[in-house]
Structure 1
Amino acid sequence: MKNSPPRIAIVWRGDREARRTATPQNNRYHRIFEELAAVGLATESAVFDEEFADDVLEQLLAVDAVLVWVNPLDNGKTRRILDPLLRQVAEAGRFVSAHPDVILKMGVKEVLYETRHIGWGVDTRLYRTAAEFRETLLPTLRAEGARVLKRNRGNGGQGIWKVELVGSPPGRSSMVGVLEARSGSMPETVALAEFIARCEACFEDNGCIVDQPFQPRLPDGMIRCYMSEGRVVGFGHQLIKALVTPPPGSGSQPLQPGPRIMHPASAEPFRALKQKMEEEWTPEMMSALNIEELALPIIWDADFLYGPPDASGNDTYVLCEINVSSVFAIPDEAPAEIARAMASRLRRSAMQL
């Protein structure tokens, strides 16, 4: 009798009705379902919510591999229940991508501090306690100018702020200009002590804040480098408006970002970045974070801003974030690469048995 194909579950967040009605065709991941099927893998939907987590666990324990698209923050919900569930599935011998432990290494802002020594890094500080944050922030702003502060876990610009000192009346407390990266945010001027108090929640549950210099070339856009394991599978370039201060006279309307323009991995403008990612920076990241090749996520991305040109006038790149928990939208070529990587991973796992 012919062996049945490996079973792959795709996990995303939804309610009971979404779980009941989910098919490989009626969701944003339909291209991934199609490509997985094209390489001979059996697929199924695994819509998740904390309300029926036990049902999802039972389902995932019955498949061979799990691909997960769930944000760390989503309308007040976190991955506090999901991550232990996925660890249990992995411990039972199922392949999980991305594994929660790998997310805690790669997909948090602390990675910017831990990899600051490699070619994508800049002068990056790390605050592990509210006391250290209170003591250090003002001297840093005075000495270095505008900084970008980032809570360790988040998405959609939540908990990312551009902060800079502004003029304060004599004898008054220091004032700062603050702009959050969250969509719809507008600049505000607040007392430094008030802003620091707002940030204290970032240190709960062993949280931290990462501090990087503001990049003046931010208006030139952000480059999203899409990766499947250690290979570049495409790029997205977007003229972002997060952390860009609206010009005077623009009123109370926040700036709107431009569209993300997708490019194939072979795109000439990003040839140097592709080479750096595949040959230098990803291996160096793996070494710094103690991540084995087989643990690299099936799909992840690294977001870069343009740094100052080098001595030859070539662009340099500054890492501002790595996304692992829920990487979407993706280039047209990426679903086939995801399927290829999954099939290869399962073959290698089978050979080790």
Structure 2
Amino acid sequence: MRSKVVFFEVQGGNDKGADGFRKDTMPMVNALKERGVDAEVIFYDKAREEEIYNYVSLNGIAYVSRINPGNLKEEQSYFQMLRRLCEDGVIGMPHPDAMIGYGSKDVLVKLKTTTLVPDDTFAYYDMENFRQQFPKSLAYGERVLKQNRGSTGEGIWRVQLVEALEGQDEAPLDAQIKCTEAKDNHVEYWQLGEFIDYCEQYIAGENGMIVDMRFLPRIKEGEIRLFMLRDKPFYVVHKKPAETEDAFSATLFSGAEYRYDTPEQWSNLVESFLSQLPEVRSLLGNYDLPLIWTADFILDTNEALEDEYILGEMNCSCVGFTSQLELAYDVAEEIIAAIKENTLTV
């Protein structure tokens, strides 16, 4: 009889503790065991994939993925193994296609029909489309380009014209642009056409894409991250960029300051987001909500001069909570609840 909750990790990497595991994995394993649920960690290895699949298919009631697929050379193989497990009735936390849907940068384009994302948000999967559309986007104001891969702000660029255009609806390729990378807020000056060519590295290869969205000046007031356990917000991280002229990055590496708030302190945002979760879930494939995930928002001002919150991105591949390990008990409760819910519907 299946009874184990299996946590998938990979060996190595700078996110591991002295015991070789992610620092927030064993607290979850131990919290489950304290509640009478058998749990263990398995290190994914392409060479042992069939052995791992057979073992989990036979013994696992659910899996929890603690791997950033972008760091796996065998990303597609790992996803396919997870799909096979889900087809066998193992409860996916998350399902691999939910991991892709919620975690990819083009989630913003998929959610353009909601009030969470401006309708002038675009995704580019090939250079031809990028060359055609981006000069038009830029003609109407500052933009932010986000690559699908990378982390800590790498490949996320704020792009602005050095000189404003006069009555043109498309920026010329020889226009001078100022580009600020979120990784460390450093500034580079380019000709637009050359910068477009430079960005080909973000589109090339498997899962390559660029998302193009409006720059929101109120990012200077801070990015607001909702930390979610399935449909429950547990805390809010307010990430304020460094107080320098060009800074817009909300990463710790770039000098941003973090503050941890309760969901009640952001009740308007939380209530608005939760009310739209059913639509979000439907638009992203109607999979179960991820076990641990985040949604990042930036303040904007609408036509009525009221505050509104714009979704910047979501993450669900391997969201950590190493600074608040006591949450492991809440995660364990959510895993048990998800197992009961899925068992009742079978």
Q: Does 1:70 align with 2:67?
A: yes
Structure 1 match to 2:168: none
- Residue type at the aligned position of 1:9: V
Structure 1 match to 2:283: 288
Structure 2 match to 1:347: 340
Is the 8 Å Cα contact of residues 22 and 47 (structure 1) preserved in structure 2? no
Structure 2 match to 1:245: 246
- Residue type at the aligned position of 2:278: P
Cα distance in 1 between the residues matched to 2:318 and 2:173 = 44
| Stretch of structure 1 that moved more, 114-123 or 7-16 | 7-16
Cα distance in 2 between the residues matched to 1:269 and 1:319 = 18
Cα distance in 1 between the residues matched to 2:56 and 2:94 = 14
Structure 2 match to 1:10: 7
Cα distance in 2 between the residues matched to 1:40 and 1:326 = 25
Percent identical among aligned pairs is 26
Q: In the TM superposition, what is the alpha-carbon distance from 1:275 to its structure 2 partner?
A: 1.0
Extract unaligned runs of 5+ from structure 2. 165-171
* TM-score, normalisation: structure 2: 0.83
Q: Does 1:158 align with 2:154?
A: yes
- Residue type at the aligned position of 1:305: I
Cα distance in 1 between the residues matched to 2:77 and 2:285 = 25
Structure 1 match to 2:186: 186
Alpha-carbon deviations, 1:50-73, whole Å to 9, x = none? 455455434433322111122243
Cα distance in 2 between the residues matched to 1:264 and 1:78 = 38
Judged with a 3 Å threshold, the aligned counterparts in structure 2 of structure 1 residues 320 and 285 are, in CA distance, closer, same or farther, namely: same
* TM-score, normalisation: structure 1: 0.81
Q: In the TM superposition, what is the alpha-carbon distance from 1:258 to its structure 2 partner?
A: 3.5
Is the 8 Å Cα contact of residues 321 and 327 (structure 2) preserved in structure 1? no
Is the 8 Å Cα contact of residues 105 and 211 (structure 2) preserved in structure 1? yes
Cα distance in 2 between the residues matched to 1:78 and 1:209 = 22
- Residue type at the aligned position of 1:97: M
Q: How many equivalent pairs are there?
A: 330
SS of residue paired to 1:316: strand
Q: What are the equivalent positions in structure 2 for 1:163-242 lying under 5 Å apart? A: 163-167=159-163, 173-182=174-183, 184=184, 186-203=186-203, 204-205=205-206, 207-241=208-242
Q: What are the equivalent positions in structure 2 for 1:259-278 lying under 5 Å apart? A: 259-265=257-263, 268-278=264-274
Cα distance in 2 between the residues matched to 1:255 and 1:350 = 43
Q: What are the equivalent positions in structure 2 for 1:37-116 lying under 5 Å apart? A: 37-50=33-46, 52-61=48-57, 62-74=59-71, 77=73, 79-116=75-112
Q: In the TM superposition, what is the alpha-carbon distance from 1:333 to its structure 2 partner?
A: 6.2
Extract unaligned runs of 5+ from structure 1. 248-253
Cα distance in 2 between the residues matched to 1:9 and 1:259 = 35
Cα distance in 2 between the residues matched to 1:163 and 1:173 = 14
Structure 2 match to 1:325: 317
Q: In the TM superposition, what is the alpha-carbon distance from 1:87 to its structure 2 partner?
A: 1.5
Structure 2 match to 1:36: 32
- Residue type at the aligned position of 1:159: G
Q: CA RMSD in A?
A: 3.3
Structure 1 match to 2:141: 145
Q: In the TM superposition, what is the alpha-carbon distance from 1:282 to its structure 2 partner?
A: 1.1
Is the 8 Å Cα contact of residues 180 and 243 (structure 1) preserved in structure 2? no
